[in-house]
Amino acid sequence: MPKIEVIEDTLYQLVGKRFDEEELISILTSAKAELDSRVPEEGLLKIELNDTNRPDLWSATGLARHLRIFLSAKLPTYNFFSTKEESKDWGNRTVEVDTTLKSIRPYITAFAVSGKSIDEPMLKDIIQSQEKLCWNYGRKRKSIAMGIYRSDLITYPVKYFAAEPDKTKFLPLGFEKELTLREILTQHPKGVEFGYIVENFHRFPFLTDAHGGVLSLPPIINSARIGAVQVGDSELFIELTGTDYPSLLHATSIMACDLADSGFTILPVKTIYPYDTPYGREVVTPFYFQDPITLDLGDASKLLGVEITPEEAKKNVTRLGCKASLKDNFITVTPPEYRNDFLHPVDIIEDIMIGRGMETFQPIMPTEFTVGRLTREEEFARKVKEIMIGLGFQEMIYSYLGSRKDFIDSMGIPEDRVIRIENPMTEKYEYVRNSILPNLLCSESVSANAVYPHHIFEIGKIVYPEPAQNYGTDTRNYLGFLSSDRNVGFNEANSLVSAVFFYLSRDYALEETSDPRFIRGRAAEIVYNGKNVGIFGEIHPRVLENWGIQMPCTGCEIDLDKLLEE
């Protein structure tokens, strides 16, 4: 979960009220946050946010805004947002996008600020907001990266184009010599850290002003001149580039509201695209794109267990920063500019609950007496676990989520056999596993220094596409085991399968199979009651090479749910 550091005096100044420690701990619950620690000698508060769907709270300014509204129920007014119907005046501030970026890093948003000099605490908070938004919300800069520049050094229009990495050079922030864009990926610390985002493109994203002054190589590093923001600067230009336009617009709104709350004047910027985007070819940002959402308050009363009146509901959602209108027993909520976490009417119910206060709900003792017991599937799984341990295997426990590289590329299977999460937080946890073997092979790939033989297993769930099911997927309980040693082969794996079925008192048969994960002719399907319930065999050398495994391996998977079917 995100953690932020805020200067105590700055937070209280922005809120307009000081809290003692007990009051602070209590009111932070309204932001799903808790006080991690205090550092009195530095005047710092370390605060942990227990939810990732409110990135607007990841700064002192954003958290203060929430607390201020929660206490007063007075909504701030931001008059610099464009909408689908009307665009704010952008003056001469424009960004021109080159058509070659469509397949590289297609979207950019921007705005400028003026009217106030930056002090040290404010600069630290801006940098912290930038880092938290780009790292957590922006998937380590892949979908969102932000640059902040000295606006007084920029001549519009800003040019966003794809540059030749070996011929284009500039002086990056923190360096004293010019580097080409490709050299930055290997010689600059930020290039080493984030270069993987662009290294496979023939051209790299690049930002300059109208006179060729370099702003940055997004999403890697700013230039040492225009991109070196310092204490005392009062004219700033903020841009965000990435691949997810709604998320870019949302992050832009958060930064604009934060800077407006800090006393800056927000100056919109117009971006001109040569290709279609979800919001047209010309977009003036900050841009308000959220849609209202309506809730039947009867549903709120049912889920919360107390009667919620329309007036009470409106008051409570207002304390969370939302505008609301009532009609009969329905409430229509318009999210504030800096929030984009309303996906379903139940999200309104959550705001009603938080605005009302958790302490206002009376605890109720359960009215039904139940006795917990293990399911038939769990009892069977525990029996299988005892068998595997008795056969000399060590149990492993893995995450059900993983990367495309692990679940698809390294295993050599088609992509349509694996379920992809629609909105993954990171590439590392982008797919739901359809097999336990990748997890077992991952463990084996880092176990070369352990004494052989290696025998590991897991009993867990897998998910695979199944159009006949309501949600198009089927979740099954599986046993997976893997052995690794110089002499392991099909016969040993066959004897292990035979032992498992013997101790389970089940008969089975084998059938020839062809599976890219196994060596052809050295693998077999397991058939029980006329159904294919599993597969085992010698892991294909190509798969072992993909995982960097030098020792031969055998693997097996068995559908435990099918073994329970009569």
112-119 average pLDDT score: 92
3-72 and 293-359 in the same fold: yes
**pLDDT recorded at residue 460:** 96
Check residue 444 and report its DSSP letter.
H
- Model pLDDT for residues 158-217, shown as the tens digit of each residue: 999 999 999 999 999 999 999 999 999 999 999 999 999 999 999 999 999 999 999 999
Other CB atoms within a 10 A radius of the CB of residue 104 amount to 17
Asked if 11 and 63 touch (Cβ cutoff 8 Å), the reply is yes
291-299 average pLDDT score: 95
86-99 average pLDDT score: 96
49-53 average pLDDT score: 86
> Strand ranges (DSSP E) for 292-389?
293-296, 323-327, 330-334
The fold of 3-72 is: Phenylalanyl-tRNA Synthetase; Chain B, domain 1 (3.30.56)
Residue (of 5, 279, 250, 278) closest to 133 by Cα position: 250
In this prediction, residue 426 has a pLDDT band, given cuts at 50, 70 and 90, of confident
Distance CA 195, CA 134 (A): 15
Give the β-pairing of 330-334 and 431-432.
Answer: unpaired
- Model pLDDT for residues 464-497, shown as the tens digit of each residue: 898 888 888 999 999 999 999 999 999 999 999 9
Give the β-pairing of 293-296 and 330-334.
Answer: antiparallel
Residue 167, amino acid? K
CA atoms within 13 A on the CB side of 36: 14
The fold of 94-285 is: Phenylalanyl-tRNA Synthetase; Chain B, domain 3 (3.50.40)
Integer angstrom CA distances of residue 103 from 199, 201, 403, 426 = 14, 9, 22, 21
CA of residue 227 relative to chain centroid, distance: 27
Q: What is the mean pLDDT of the chain?
A: 94
**pLDDT recorded at residue 364:** 84
Integer angstrom CA distances of residue 474 from 88, 407, 421, 440, 531 = 50, 17, 15, 22, 16
Distance CA 175, CA 87 (A): 40
In this prediction, residue 566 has a pLDDT band, given cuts at 50, 70 and 90, of low
Residue 240, amino acid? L
Burial of 85 (0-12, 13-18, 19+ CB in 10 A): exposed
Distance CA 384, CA 500 (A): 8
SS3 (DSSP) at 344: coil
Token pair in block for residue 420: 């992809």
32-45 average pLDDT score: 91
Burial of 79 (0-12, 13-18, 19+ CB in 10 A): exposed
**pLDDT recorded at residue 369:** 84
| CATH homologous superfamily, domain 376-564 | Bira Bifunctional Protein; Domain 2 (3.30.930.10)
**First-residue to last-residue Cα distance in the chain:** 45
**pLDDT recorded at residue 52:** 82
147-151 average pLDDT score: 96
508-518 average pLDDT score: 94
In this prediction, residue 339 has a pLDDT band, given cuts at 50, 70 and 90, of very high
CATH number belonging to the domain at 293-359, selected among 3.90.550.10, 1.10.1370.30, 3.90.1150.10, 3.30.56.10 = 3.30.56.10
147: left (phi over 0), alpha (psi -120 to 50) or beta: beta
**pLDDT recorded at residue 50:** 87
Distance CA 5, CA 199 (A): 33
**pLDDT recorded at residue 365:** 85
Distance CA 393, CA 386 (A): 10
**pLDDT recorded at residue 416:** 87
Above 80 in pLDDT, residue 72?
A: yes
327-333 average pLDDT score: 95
- Model pLDDT for residues 259-271, shown as the tens digit of each residue: 999 999 999 999 9
What residue spans define the domains of the chain? 3-72, 94-285, 293-359, 376-564
Asked if 360 and 367 touch (Cβ cutoff 8 Å), the reply is no
